[in-house]
Amino acid sequence: MNKRSANDRCGLLAGGNWIIDLVKMIDVYPQPEQLANIRSQSEGTGGAPYNVSIDLAKSGAPFPLFAAGLVGQDSLGEHIRETCRRHKIDVHHLGTTPKAPTSYTDVMTEQGHGRRTFFHARGANALWCGDDLDFKRIPVRIFHLGYLLLLDALDEPDPRFGTRAARLLAKAQAAGVKTCADVVSEDSDRFAKIVNPALKHVDYCILNEIEAGKTTGFKIRPPDGSLDTVALRHAAGALLQQGVRELVVVHFPEGAFARARRGDDFWQASLKLPADYIAGTAGAGDAFCAGVLYGLHEGWDIQRCLLTGVCIAAASLADATCTAGVKSLSTSLALAKKFGFRKSLDVGK
């Protein structure tokens, strides 16, 4: 990647889903009409912009952070805004509305292996369309939008751009802002209709392997649960063909893969963490994304960006909530030395 550009833009604007996660640790996920025991409960951040912004702030990102979105005029909404202010995240573009409550998610996390099931209330996020954002007056270098497929107003059709999200991303690019988009994992056939139009206006696309497969039609996880690295590379190439301008990054429990527009491929294994280290996997994808965006903003090479991503993701796994486990960047990077990495990925031929 190139070093920092010469323009005076600096900082990251994160827009989209602002959510309060109510994380419940349960002994087992029950069958219908059966009972599970809640062993503990905690409250944390949720949603791409909230998680990424907090992770960057806690990692000590040396650039300004800005929030964009919509919360309800309620205690949860004020809690989000106050948390942002405490971490020096600008909330000028994080509005409030009396028309809907602040979004929240009940996250059921199974003890032992950290599998999660989500019960989500869209709330005010469904109303946000970003029309108030004037990117010519917001001096950021990167605009990160997430999650596509979970922002009702932005997922709506647009006669020129395909979706309103695509129009918003194009508006950012026209002002000289680098754009990045993330997608929510859902079991549906909406990916081609909603995600693909946005890809034409995205500089950096950061997805997990399931989302990448759903968007492109490649089956990256065969029935046996293994990682098909050939299909993974094909999916990354397809995302670039669909319009991503500079970089596709796909993350997965085993590590991460990136393909640049110029055709270079990069692999990074995840950390070899002991089972008792992992308190929950909620937020690991956003933590990885925060690490990559940290490096992209600073002009680091792609390999260093991926390493930073897997280390911050590993830090997040130490807590059941999305961001409480993340500490300073040096602390996250030290986990690599402490635990080492998984065996090298079988990247095929």
What tens-digit pLDDT sequence spans the chain (349 residues)?
A: 444 444 689 999 999 999 999 989 999 999 999 999 999 998 999 999 999 999 999 999 999 999 999 999 999 999 999 999 999 999 999 999 999 999 999 989 898 777 888 899 999 999 999 999 999 999 999 999 999 999 999 999 999 999 999 999 999 999 999 999 999 988 888 998 999 999 999 999 999 999 999 999 999 999 999 999 999 999 999 999 999 999 999 999 999 999 999 989 999 999 999 989 998 888 999 999 999 999 999 999 999 999 999 999 999 999 988 999 999 999 999 999 999 999 866 555 4
Indicate the angle between helix axes 209-216 and 191-199, nearest 10 degrees: 100
Structure tokens at 329: 């960047």
Amino acid at residue number 187: D
b (16+ CB within 10 A) / e for 283-313: bbbbbbbbbbbbbbbbebebebbbbbbbbbb
Please tell me the predicted confidence (pLDDT) of residue 189. Answer: 86
Please tell me the predicted confidence (pLDDT) of residue 4. Answer: 44
Superfamily of domain 12-339: Ribokinase (3.40.1190.20)
> Rounded to the nearest 5 degrees, what angle is found at the Cα of 208, between the Cα atoms of 280 and 189?
115
Phi-psi region of 270 (alpha: psi -120 to 50; beta: other; left: phi over 0): beta
Amino acid at residue number 244: V
Q: How many CA atoms lie within 13 A of 280 on its CB side?
A: 27
Q: How far apart are CA 143 and CA 172, in angstroms?
A: 7
What value does the CA radius of gyration of the chain take, rounded to a whole number of Å? 19
Q: How far apart are CA 59 and CA 55, in angstroms?
A: 6
The H-assigned helical ranges of 178-280 are 191-199, 209-216, 229-241
> Rounded to the nearest 5 degrees, what angle is found at the Cα of 188, between the Cα atoms of 195 and 171?
15
Q: How far apart are CA 245 and CA 33, in angstroms?
A: 49
Please tell me the predicted confidence (pLDDT) of residue 349. Answer: 41
Question: Domain boundaries in the chain?
Answer: 12-339
CA torsion sign for 224, 267, 62, 59 is positive
Phi-psi region of 46 (alpha: psi -120 to 50; beta: other; left: phi over 0): beta
Please tell me the predicted confidence (pLDDT) of residue 346. Answer: 59
Give the 3-state secondary structure of residue 87.
Answer: coil
User: Which class for 200: exposed (0-12), middle (13-18), buried (19 or more C-beta within 10 A)?
Assistant: middle
Q: Of 85, 179, 174, 84, which Cα lies nearest the Cα of 134?
A: 174
Q: How far apart are CA 175 and CA 181, in angstroms?
A: 17
Predicted structure pTM score: 0.93
Please tell me the predicted confidence (pLDDT) of residue 279. Answer: 87
Please tell me the predicted confidence (pLDDT) of residue 344. Answer: 67
Secondary element (H or E) of residue 119? strand 116-121
Amino acid at residue number 214: K
Please tell me the predicted confidence (pLDDT) of residue 204. Answer: 98
First to last CA, the chain: 25
Please tell me the predicted confidence (pLDDT) of residue 281. Answer: 87
Please tell me the predicted confidence (pLDDT) of residue 3. Answer: 47
CB 81 within 8 A of CB 72: no
Q: How far apart are CA 14 and CA 30, in angstroms?
A: 36
CB 272 within 8 A of CB 339: yes
Please tell me the predicted confidence (pLDDT) of residue 224. Answer: 95
Query: Residue 246's CB: how many other CB atoms inside 10 A?
Result: 18
